[in-house]
Chain A
Amino acid sequence: NAGVTQTPKFQVLKTGQSMTLQCAQDMNHNSMYWYRQDPGMGLRLIYYSASEGTTDKGEVPNGYNVSRLNKREFSLRLESAAPSQTSVYFCASSELGLARETQYFGPGTRLLVL
């Protein structure tokens, strides 16, 4: 099992460009999450998907859109990138999205917006 995979690992964008970060999990998990990690800020939730076909906003959703393509895949799209979106993005998944469940994290995508 690969667990949670993310592509790309690193990306440089110019302000105003768009891109999609891809995330896939092979653990048959129902719930998936996108976080961003900034220095001194910890992990902050952008969006999550409790189950296939549903998505909900997290703490910092502005400037992002998500798609739960199927049970395995959850993508994060930046329509018009801004320097403030320079960050490390982590995707995670959990079996049922219950409070007591462990979340499994992907390796992260480092995004630099110039």
Chain B
Amino acid sequence: ILNVEQSPQSLHVQEGDSTNFTCSFPSSNFYALHWYRWETAKSPEALFVMTLNGDEKKKGRISATLNTKEGYSYLYIKGSQPEDSATYLCASLGQAGTALIFGKGTTLSVSS
């Protein structure tokens, strides 16, 4: 089973701070890396799907980078807002035809 690791497990920042999280995955047989945002009492919502080494994706204040050779992805949030409070999940698919393996997530709490 593919092992996807996320760090930190949780963090707490003040409104306006910028922050970043890490997702690590095996670099062999890489196909895709997904980032999801999961608010309490809601269902996970997709942020990015990244497939190419060096990929950078951006949605508003949130961006992500991908390094498939060393097996990591970073998710950045610029100027955190209380509404950014959520659990951020990454998931990887190591072989075509199999399903996503999710990390345990990073839970972000933003105080105003």
* Contacts of A21-69 to chain B: CB distance below 8 A: 33, 35, 40-45, 48, 50, 58-59
Interface residues contributed by chain B, number (CB under 8 Å): 23
CA distance in complex: A48, B101 (Å):
12
Interface residues of A, dominant DSSP: loop
Q: When chains A and B are docked, how far (Å) is the Cα of A41 from the Cα of B104?
A: 6
If A42-B105, A99-B32, A100-B51 touch, does A58 touch B43 (CB 8 Å cutoff)?
A: no
B49 and A45 form a contact (CB under 8 A): no
Q: Is the interface of B mostly helix, strand, loop or mixed?
A: loop
Q: Is B59 an interface residue (CB 8 A)?
A: no
CA distance A74 to B61 in the complex (A): 36
Give how many A residues have a beta carbon under 8 Å from the other chain's beta carbons.
Answer: 26
Name which of A35, A42, A102 has the most chain B CB atoms within 10 A of its CB.
A42
Q: Which of B1-49 contact A (CB under 8 A)?
A: 1, 31-32, 34, 42-46, 49
- The answer to whether B101 and A103 have CB atoms under 8 Å apart is no
For residues 79 through 112 of chain B, which have their beta carbon under 8 Å from a beta carbon of chain A?
A: 89, 91, 93, 96-97, 99-105
* Contact A106/B43 with A43-B89, A99-B51 known, Cβ cut-off 8 Å: yes
| Residues in A whose Cβ lies below 8 Å from that of B97 | 50
Cβ of A83 within 8 Å of any chain B Cβ, yes or no, is no
Q: Which residues of A53-112 have CB atoms within 8 Å of chain B's CB atoms? A: 58-59, 90, 97-108
Other-chain contact of B93, A42, A99, A107 (Cβ < 8 Å): A99
The 3 closest A-B pairs by CB, nearest first: A99-B32, A99-B31, A105-B43
